[in-house]
Amino acid sequence: MNLVLDALAWLLDSANWDGRGGIGARILEHLGFSAAVVAAACAIGIPAGVAIGHSGRGRSLVIVLTSGARALPTLGLLTILGLALGIGLDAPFLALLVLALPPVLAGAYAGVESVARETVGASRAIGMTEWQLVRGVELPLAAPVLLGGVRSAALQVISTATLAAYVADTGLGRPLFEGLKTQRYDMMLGASLLVALLALVVELGFQLVQSAAARRAEPHRAPSGARERISA
């Protein structure tokens, strides 16, 4: 119990918040780095997943990637990449990208795949181009599942991004590793609590975005009042 109190004391000490290595800066680094990784995962995973879901080609790739890549230990991967790429953000960026890509890819693929074939077929039959079909039908209807994949990736990246501090001076992993080395367990636990809190806040944010997407995809299920807001 004392340890928890110590951790809270560390968190609440304003002296720990300021400056380049302060908690505030660490949170921003952590979020910025995580966002960059998730954005990269989206830039690769969403187009690839949508293309696979739309065309039905390359399904086995999704299965291999999602089951295979999930079995990779991120710390081990980071060690190998770190040895190859040296100190800096490159190695953790790549290691986390490998972590984030499968859920994003799977979400985009599963979302598009789940759109009713009759709806897609009818849209094509009335004269939509493939691109109009993707943009106007498949993406909006796939959005809730697709965002679920991004959400799961974001959560994993935020909680695992502490590992970046293993080879770089960045993020909330910094106080965590420092506390571990110097036996400052208040700092270590405080940093861990912050990471958990950050993950929760981001989770909440995604929940809001995801339910907004669900209302767009299935407007008739929206509670009264929501429909007017969508059509506005």
- Asked whether 187 and 15 are in contact (CB, 8 A), the reply is no
| 79 burial level (CB within 10 Å; 0-12, 13-18, 19+) | middle
Shortest distance in whole angstroms from residue 77 CB to other proteins? 39
Q: Please name the residues in contact with 50: beta carbons below 8 A apart, sequence gap of 6 or more.
A: 108, 109, 112, 134, 138, 139, 142
Nearer to other proteins, 124 or 184 (CB): 124
- DSSP code of residue 183: T
In the complex, the residues that contact other proteins under the rule CB under 8 A are 118-119, 121-129, 132, 136-137, 140-141, 216-221, 227, 231
Nearer to other proteins, 8 or 128 (CB): 128
Beta-carbon-side half-sphere exposure of residue 182 (alpha carbons within 13 Å): 10
Concatenating the DSSP letter of every residue in 194-209 gives HHHHHHHHHHHHHHHH
Nearer to other proteins, 123 or 159 (CB): 123
Shortest distance in whole angstroms from residue 136 CB to other proteins? 8
- Asked whether 4 and 196 are in contact (CB, 8 A), the reply is no
Shortest distance in whole angstroms from residue 105 CB to other proteins? 24
Shortest distance in whole angstroms from residue 220 CB to other proteins? 4
Nearer to other proteins, 181 or 220 (CB): 220
Nearer to other proteins, 36 or 128 (CB): 128
Nearer to other proteins, 137 or 195 (CB): 137
From residue 81, give the alpha-carbon distance in Å to each of 52, 101, 143, 164: 29, 17, 33, 12
Shortest distance in whole angstroms from residue 116 CB to other proteins? 8
Shortest distance in whole angstroms from residue 122 CB to other proteins? 3
